[in-house]
């Protein structure tokens, strides 16, 4: 029994790391631009396909593909911010919601158009490798995914904590007018924050491909989890997104084992509603 | 140093400034007074580029600035310390100061500048790792001024620095403003506290309803009955 | 909607373009299903009616009430599954199952809407997406009931009682009936008190509350009606296709398609969603026809692109754009000259009673108990005391002024009285009744306390008349009466000339008048005015002062915050001064202006008098 529990904790945390990486981009975008990116899941999907095709066409290892995916997605984020988000940055919520909802519809169906509804995954030499110690099983690609996710999150947090640009982004999220008066180019920071958010979720897609399938609507599956994580962690706290991601990973592992794997979404939703009702700022959010 | 000529500005379709003209000479303390809603803060925000002016021109050190975005105006050395301080509440005192020195020019002299600022406000050095949101009201105002100074302003604009402060602290703030000015920084001060601001000002303008209704030396204005009328309606 | 027009107007009203043109359109709709005699076009017509109905029902909650639901597919699916399961398992006629499904969907909607309506727009949308996703999962995995992904097949047994027909034409007429019904419902809501309430709360929830609108209840009712039609649409869909599965009736793209049609057509208008369906559904079908077989998803690429472009560049939709053409177009139709003759007979004679001075000398009232009493009010924000131990009374008929420097806590006091905030301690009494902490604000309004806001809160997309009508509805039920009251009020505040202008197009001075008119139309006995002259020029200030005096002459007690000293000094009988949240003085205007503490507070201590 104890071994099972430890195994579940490990499974949950490994999964949670990826959830955290997906969610942290969403949180960053919301914290700085005050817009919920409803197309976030679709960028995850694109990240998975990007890594998939790099492997299929050029034999690039999915982990190596990060080196291409991250900068590319950052640039894509800049462009999307410039073309779609910037015009509605001060618009009523309805316009903001449907701009990204519309984008999500487009991206999902672009994927369907080009790559059909097939499930695709990358089979590498290490895909099925497992570490076995003391009755515990740890899947190697999951472990690598976790380590990479945590590394990227740490790098992002360091960037925001240490660099001038990072501090400017945080300042903007806390007090926009003062940031402007300190000489921070608000428009450029919006772009950078959006770019980083998209780069994070694209990277999450790339490290997911060895352990999961890419298909056009895969984003919707994960973005629901990301929404729950963001609400749980507090929608303006990046550390909250990290811890929230790990918690949801654990919840999934345990509810999958003790209830049923199919009910895990129902469990998320209950958490989601309870948090919204009783602690709308989340566990780590600021009022 | 700074001149505004016939500036008009709108909030939405509300005309907040009507044909304002001001001149600020280098090295002076100039104050703008007037009751709430007279357009004092709007004037500062128009100079800072946060609010676009609808017509008129603004010149700083011989260059036109009315169409520049806020961050470029800060780079030129026109720095505003906003009303209600607007610190970054979840950042430390030190981080707030660093962000004050955000522009490339200010970044170069950051360490040295920080020394000067800590000399001016020793209490901030004691609290440098504390979050700005947890400081007392007086300390927050000091931090707001210090953050503004970190930008190495040529012209420092203060919006209601005495707001919400106890009388003793109010005196202290005005003392600081004089000290800053003595170091060669030109000051544009917007205040409701008429007595204090007029007594330290070289020149003053009185705003009423988005218009300049009076202008002159600080002491002169202090004695002008029109001021009391504008504030107290008698 | 068209029928009621006829019964009310005289026979020759029929010759007016604005009557006969919609009738021609109706006639066209009625014959449309039998025109094509071709299954492809018949199907297209059914789809137009079907999507029009659903988009219009989404519009009730998303357009009128401004609550953006992205989870309507859940209600659609619940409707489809309930009636189908009842038919398959118990042989219950889908006609009855339709209402069972609608009832269940409405119950679920209440359970979800009640907690979620307090969320801000983005998060409400999020919550509805998540909710719909969970319902889809339940339908997919509860195999015992729903057969999961396999779906449910309804065997083809034609018969009216089975809601199954051999040809397509009966379906077309059922769909048309539903569509005409939702148009009728939308139209009557739009022109009723309820509709005014929905739109006002969409435009500004706080302002709506202050005018007596029970915002939470209104949103919930709008959602219930919307869900009812959506679920009925689900049953129709099941009976038309005779097959449902989770992927087709529970899909996010369905949830997005409804608002898409409404936005393209014209959000928050009665016929916008219908127009959207008439334009986009054929486009969709054509796209599928051209490309569908070879390229799945292309139609959604076009849809999504249209949606993004529309919300960025054309947020008002086709109807918003057409509306500028509609009236001139009607005027060109034969019979237009009749309109002038007919409408000329309606006399616009409205008299105002501004000049009637009523006794208002507060001196007479001193023996009476005060109308309003506040005792030791205290309110903290964080550690900071915004209002500290403030007590005062207001006598009936009096004008009491409240002044103090920026941040002194004046507006906080207003918010404490009107239910926007609750005091930490202290007591508030009005007409001898304790109202401390009475919440939400609409309850305070119903006690006959009105207020305006420092930053005016007009309902921007409503006309001046409609703005005031929202307030008038707090006391009368019928739109006709509210319109009459509001017209008189517009005359009183001098806005009759702008009665049909959108509030967003008014000047600041006029919006300030409108703010007064809205609050006054709730017939308050005590009216709280928060800086009604701030930002105006001297001439405009004079005008507003004249109106405020006229209000006072009607016996309404006034409590005024003002920064423009001239205004408050001439208006007030008594003035209270706040500084740092504390009351530092209370006396007549002349004494106040000589009070040492007041001068210190305003001008800085040591100011040389």
CATH of the domain at C285: 1.10.3470
Nearest to C311 among A95, A104, A265 (CB): A95
Distance CA A96, CA A99 (A): 5
* Whether residue C298 sits in one domain with residue C217: yes
pLDDT at residue number A2 = 84
Domain boundary among C330, C354, C378: C330
A254 at interface of C, judged by CB pairs closer than 8 A: no
Q: What is the dihedral of CA C45, C47, C50, C55, to 10 degrees?
A: -110
Q: Which residues of A touch C259 (CB under 8 A)?
A: 98
Cβ atoms C572, C540 nearer than 8 A:
no
CATH of the domain at B55: 3.40.50.300
Give the per-residue pLDDT at C368.
61
DSSP secondary structure of B200-215: H-SEEEEEETTEEEEE
C576: which 2 tokens?
């209270």
Q: What is the pLDDT of residue C359?
A: 44
Decide if B213 is inside a domain.
Answer: yes
Cα distance from N-terminal residue to C-terminal residue, chain A: 41
Q: For residue B134, is it within any domain?
A: no
Q: Is residue C270 one of the residues assigned to a domain?
A: yes
Distances (CA, A) of B49 to A117, B71, C534: 51, 8, 24
Do C268 and C389 lie in a common domain? no
Predicted complex ipTM: 0.89
| pLDDT per residue as tens digits for the range C264-319 | 999 989 999 999 999 999 988 887 777 656 666 777 888 889 899 998 888 888 88
Closest to B151 (Cβ–Cβ): which among A167, A170, A182?
A: A182
Average pLDDT, chain B: 87
* Domain-located, residue C484: yes
Count CB neighbours of B112 within 10 A. 9
Q: What is the CA radius of gyration of chain B?
A: 17
Which phi and psi (to 5°) does residue B122 adopt? Answer: -55, -30
Residue C342 lies in a domain: no
What Å distances lie between residue C328 and C17, C18, C325, CA to CA? 11, 11, 6
Residue C293: the pLDDT is 62
Bridge partner list, B205: B32, B215
Between CA C457 and CA C469 the distance in angstroms is 15
The answer to the question of residue C348 being in a domain is: no
Interface of A with C in 147-166 (CB under 8 A): none
How far away is chain C from the Cα of B192, in angstroms, using its nearest Cα? 7
| CB nearest to C308's CB, from A102, A113, A224 | A102
For the stretch A175-226, pLDDT in tens is 999 999 999 999 999 999 999 999 999 999 999 999 899 999 899 889 888 9
**CB within 8 Å: A116 and C259:** no
A240-249 confidence digits (pLDDT tens): 999 999 999 9
Distance from CA of A184 to the nearest CA of B (A): 6
**For residue C196, is it within any domain?**
yes
pLDDT at C52: 97
**Is residue C349, in this structure, part of any structural domain at all?**
no
Q: Which residues contact C141 (CB under 8 A, 6 or more apart)?
A: A260, A262, A263, C148
Percent of chain A surpassing pLDDT 90: 66
Give the number of other CB atoms < 10 A from CB of residue C96: 14
CA–CA dist A195, B98 (Å, integer): 24
Give contacts of C 98-137 with A, CB under 8 A: 115-116, 119-123, 125-127, 129-131, 133-134, 137
* Residue C317 shares a structural domain with residue C401: no
**Bond prior to C440 in cis (omega within 30° of 0):** yes
Last residue of a domain, one of C308, C330, C352: C330
The number of distinct structural domains making up chain C is 2
For the beta carbon of residue C217, count every other beta carbon within 10 angstroms: 12
Strand pairing category for B2-11 and B155-159? unpaired
What does the alpha-carbon distance between residue C42 and residue C51 come to, in Å, rounded to a whole number? 14
Same domain, C481 and C580: yes
* A102/C141 CB distance under 8 A: no
Instruction: Please answer yes or no on whether B37 and C535 come within 8 Å at the CB atom.
Output: yes
Give CA angle at C198 (C195, C202), nearest 5°: 140
A180 touches chain B (CB under 8 A): yes
pLDDT for C598 equals: 82
Q: Which domain holds residue C367?
A: 362-603
Between B37, B193, B234, which is nearest C534 by CB? B37
Q: Domains along chain A?
A: 2-278 (1.10.3470)
Helix (H, G, I), strand (E, B) or coil at C284: helix
What is the C-alpha separation between B7 and B4, in angstroms, rounded?
Answer: 6
Q: What are all long-range contacts of A128-134, with beta carbons under 8 Å and residues at least 24 apart?
A: A134/A3
Q: Is the dihedral of CA C564, C569, C571, C572 positive or negative?
A: positive
What does the pLDDT read at residue C168? 92
Angstrom distance (rounded) from CA C401 to CA B75: 45
pLDDT < 50 positions in chain C: 1-9, 339-367, 608-609
Chains that touch C (3 or more CB pairs under 8 A): A, B
Residues 6+ apart with CB under 8 A from B213: B206, B207, B226, B230
Q: Quick one: tokens of B8?
A: 């008009």
CA atoms of B83 and B101, how far apart (whole Å) = 19
Cβ pair A98:C308 closer than 8 A:
yes
Confidence of residue B233 (pLDDT cuts 50, 70, 90): low
CB spacing of A263 vs C141 below 8 angstroms:
yes
Pairing of strands A136-139, A130-133: antiparallel
Return the pLDDT at C9: 46
pLDDT-derived band at B39, boundaries 50, 70, 90? confident
**Per-residue pLDDT at B5 exceeds 50:** yes
3-class state of residue C529 by DSSP = strand
Nearest to A95 among C115, C131, C315 (CB): C315
Residue B120 has pLDDT above 50, yes or no: yes
Are B103 and A183 a contacting pair at CB < 8 A?
yes
Contacts of C149 (CB under 8 A, 6+ apart): C140, C245, C246, C247
Determine the 3-state secondary structure of C1 from DSSP: coil
Instruction: Write down the pLDDT at residue B227.
Output: 77
Q: How far apart are CA C562 and CA C539, in angstroms?
A: 17
Within-domain flag for C339: no
Closest CA to B82 of B144, B124, B140: B144
The DSSP secondary structure of chain B, one letter per residue, reads -EEEEEEEEEETTEEEEEEEEEEE-TT-EEEEE--TTSSHHHHHHHHHTSS-EEEEEEEETTEE-TTS-HHHHHHHTEEEE-TT----TTSBHHHHHHHHT-SHHHHHTHHHHHHHHHHH-HHHHHTTTSBGGGS-HHHHHHHHHHHHHHT--SEEEEE-TTTT--HHHHHHHHHHHHHHHHTT-EEEEEES-HHHHHHH-SEEEEEETTEEEEEEEHHHHHH-HHHHHHHH--
Please give, rounded to a whole number of angstroms, the shortest distance from the CA of C535 to a CA of chain B. 6
Q: What's the whole-number mean pLDDT along residues A106-124?
A: 89
pLDDT at C283: 86
* Residue-wise pLDDT tens digits, A93-111: 888 999 999 999 999 999 9
pLDDT for A21-41, tens place per residue?
A: 999 999 999 999 999 999 999
Give me the domain span that covers residue B58.
1-77+156-164+188-234
Q: In this structure, is residue C341 part of a structural domain? A: no
How far is the C-alpha of C326 from the C-alpha of A199, rounded, in Å? Answer: 48
Please name the helix (run of DSSP H) or strand (run of DSSP E) that holds residue B24, with its range, or none: strand B14-24
3-state secondary structure of C71: coil
Across the interface, whether the CB atoms of B82 and A178 are under 8 A apart is answered: yes
Token pair 């779906």 is found at C151
């Amino acid at each position: 029994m104890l071994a099972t529990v430890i195994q579940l904790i490990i499974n949950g945390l490994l999964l949670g790391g990826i959830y955290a990486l997906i969610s942290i981009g969403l949180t960053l975008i919301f914290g700085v631009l005050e817009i919920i990116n409803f197309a976030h899941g679709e960028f995850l999907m694109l990240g998975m396909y990007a890594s998939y095709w790099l492997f299929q066409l050029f034999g690039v290892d999915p982990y190596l593909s990060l080196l291409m995916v991250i900068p590319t997605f950052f640039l894509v984020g800049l462009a999307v911010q410039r073309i779609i988000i910037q015009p509605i940055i001060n618009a009523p919520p309805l316009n903001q919601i449907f701009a990204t909802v519309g984008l999500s519809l487009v991206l999902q169906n672009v994927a369907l158009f080009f790559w059909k509804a097939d499930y695709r995954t990358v089979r590498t030499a290490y895909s099925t490798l497992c570490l076995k110690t003391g009755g515990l099983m740890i899947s190697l690609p999951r472990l690598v995914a976790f380590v990479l996710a945590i590394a990227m999150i740490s790098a992002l947090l360091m960037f925001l904590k240490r660099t001038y640009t990072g501090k400017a982004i945080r300042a903007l999220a806390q007090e926009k007018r003062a940031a402007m008066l300190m000489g921070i180019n608000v428009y450029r920071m919006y772009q950078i924050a959006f770019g980083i958010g998209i780069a994070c979720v694209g990277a999450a897609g790339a490290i997911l491909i060895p352990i999961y399938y890419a298909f056009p609507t895969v984003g919707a599956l994960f973005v629901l989890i990301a929404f729950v994580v963001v609400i749980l962690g507090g929608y303006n706290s990046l550390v909250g997104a990290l811890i929230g991601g790990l918690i949801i990973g654990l919840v999934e592992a345990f509810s999958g084992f003790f209830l049923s794997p199919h009910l895990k979404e129902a469990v998320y939703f209950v958490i989601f509603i309870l948090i919204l009702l009783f602690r709308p700022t989340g566990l780590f959010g600021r009022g | 140093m700074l001149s505004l000529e016939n500036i008009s500005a709108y909030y939405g379709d509300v005309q907040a400034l009507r044909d304002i003209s001001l001149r600020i000479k280098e090295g002076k303390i100039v104050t703008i007074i007037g009751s709430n809603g007279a357009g004092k803060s709007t004037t500062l925000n128009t100079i800072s580029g946060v609010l676009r002016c609808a017509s008129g021109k603004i010149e700083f050190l011989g260059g036109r600035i009315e169409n520049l975005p806020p961050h470029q105006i800060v780079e030129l050395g026109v720095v505003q310390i906003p009303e209600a301080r607007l610190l970054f509440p979840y950042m430390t005192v030190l981080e707030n100061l660093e962000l004050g020195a955000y522009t490339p020019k200010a970044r170069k002299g950051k360490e040295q500048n920080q020394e000067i600022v800590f000399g001016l406000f020793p209490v901030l050095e004691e609290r440098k790792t504390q979050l700005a949101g947890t400081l007392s009201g007086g300390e927050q105002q000091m931090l707001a001024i210090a953050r503004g100074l970190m930008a190495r302003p040529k012209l420092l604009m203060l919006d209601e620095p005495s707001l919400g402060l106890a009388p003793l602290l109010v005196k202290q703030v005005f003392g600081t403003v004089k000290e800053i000015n003595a170091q060669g920084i030109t000051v544009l001060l917007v205040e409701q506290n008429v007595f204090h601001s007029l007594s330290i000002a070289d020149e003053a303008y009185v705003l009423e309803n988005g218009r300049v209704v009076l202008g002159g030396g600080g002491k002169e204005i202090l004695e002008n009955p029109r001021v009391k009328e504008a504030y107290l309606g008698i | 909607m068209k029928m009621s027009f006829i019964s009310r107007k005289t026979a020759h009203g029929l010759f007016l373009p604005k009557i006969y043109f919609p009738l021609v359109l109706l006639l066209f709709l009625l014959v449309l299903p039998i025109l094509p005699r071709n299954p492809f076009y018949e199907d297209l017509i059914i789809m137009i009616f079907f999507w029009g109905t659903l988009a219009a029902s989404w519009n009730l909650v998303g357009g009128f009430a401004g609550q953006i639901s992205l989870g309507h597919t859940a209600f659609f699916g619940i409707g489809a599954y309930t009636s189908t399961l009842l038919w398959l398992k118990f042989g219950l006629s889908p006609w009855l199952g339709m209402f069972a499904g609608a009832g269940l969907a409405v119950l679920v909607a209440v359970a979800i809407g009640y907690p979620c309506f307090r969320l801000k727009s983005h998060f409400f949308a999020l919550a509805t997406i998540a909710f719909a996703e969970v319902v889809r999962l339940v339908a997919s995995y509860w195999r015992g009931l729903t057969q999961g992904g396999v779906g449910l097949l309804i065997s083809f047994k034609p018969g009216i009682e089975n809601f199954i027909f051999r040809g397509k034409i009966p379906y077309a007429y059922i769909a048309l009936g539903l569509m005409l019904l939702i148009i009728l419902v939308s139209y009557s809501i739009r022109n009723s008190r309820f509709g005014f309430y929905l739109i006002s709360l969409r435009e500004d929830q706080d302002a709506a509350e202050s005018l007596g609108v029970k915002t939470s209840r209104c949103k919930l009712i709008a959602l219930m009606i919307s869900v009812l039609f959506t679920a009925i649409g689900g049953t129709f869909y099941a009976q038309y296709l005779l097959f449902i599965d989770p992927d087709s009736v529970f899909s996010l793209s369905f949830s997005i398609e409804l608002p898409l049609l409404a936005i393209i057509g014209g959000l928050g208008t009665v016929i916008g969603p219908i127009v959207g369906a008439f334009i986009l559904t054929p486009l969709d079908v054509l796209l599928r026809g051209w490309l569908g077989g070879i390229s799945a998803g292309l139609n959604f690429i076009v849809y999504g692109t249209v949606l993004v472009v529309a919300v960025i560049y054309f947020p008002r939709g086709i109807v918003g754009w057409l509306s500028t053409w509609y009236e001139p177009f009607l005027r060109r139709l034969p019979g237009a000259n009749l309109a002038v003759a007919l409408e000329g007979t309606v006399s616009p004679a409205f008299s105002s009673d501004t000049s009637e001075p009523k006794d208002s000398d507060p001196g007479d009232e001193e023996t009476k108990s005060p109308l309003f009493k506040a005792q030791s009010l205290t309110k903290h924000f964080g550690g900071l005391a915004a209002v500290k131990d403030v007590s005062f009374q207001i006598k009936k008929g009096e004008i009491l002024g409240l002044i103090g420097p920026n941040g002194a806590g004046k507006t906080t006091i207003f918010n404490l009285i009107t239910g926007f905030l609750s005091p930490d301690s202290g007591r508030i009494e009005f007409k001898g009744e304790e109202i401390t902490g009475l919440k939400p604000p609409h309850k305070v309004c119903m006690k006959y306390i009105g207020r305006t806001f420092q930053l005016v809160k007009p309902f921007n997309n409503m006309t001046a008349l409609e703005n005031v009508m929202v307030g008038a509805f707090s006391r009368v039920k019928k739109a006709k009466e509210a319109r009459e009251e509001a017209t008189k009020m517009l005359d009183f505040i001098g806005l009759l000339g702008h009665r049909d202008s959108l509030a967003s197009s008014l000047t600041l001075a006029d919006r300030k008048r409108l703010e007064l008119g809205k609050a006054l139309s709730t017939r308050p006995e005590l009216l709280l005015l928060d800086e009604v002259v701030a930002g105006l020029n001297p001439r405009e200030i004079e005008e507003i002062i004249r109106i405020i005096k006229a209000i006072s002459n009607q016996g309404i007690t006034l409590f005024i915050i003002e920064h423009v000293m001239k205004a408050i000094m001439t208006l007030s009988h008594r003035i209270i001064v706040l500084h740092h949240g504390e009351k530092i003085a209370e006396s007549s205007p002349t004494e106040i202006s000589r009070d040492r503490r007041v001068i210190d507070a305003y001008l800085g201590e040591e100011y040389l008098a």
